[in-house]
Amino acid sequence: MRNRNLLNNKLDNLEAILTTLQQIVNRQAPIETYKVNLGRAKGLVEDIRSMVEAENMSPSEINKI
């Protein structure tokens, strides 16, 4: 995988956002704070998906299709 470090960093960021969302729920913070963090998480998921799709498929992945 060409961008393994970048992908791992994005997954770390996503994990941090999910932890933040859990803390927001636990302390009953304003719903707007929750929505902002959900938007950030969704953006990261889109970034990660596009990175994975941009990678070349290995022969074993191609044969599964």
Q: What is the pLDDT of residues 6-48, one digit of tens each?
A: 888 999 999 999 999 999 999 999 999 999 999 999 999 999 9
Residue 62 resides in a domain: no
pLDDT band at 65 (very low <50, low <70, confident <90, very high): low
Residue 30 resides in a domain: yes
Domains identified in the chain, total number: 1
Residue 25 resides in a domain: yes
- 25: containing domain: 4-54
Residue 64 resides in a domain: no
pLDDT at 13: 94
Whole-model pTM?
A: 0.73
Between the alpha carbon of residue 58 and those of residues 17, 47, 55, 65, the distances in Å are: 31, 21, 9, 11
pLDDT at 57: 75
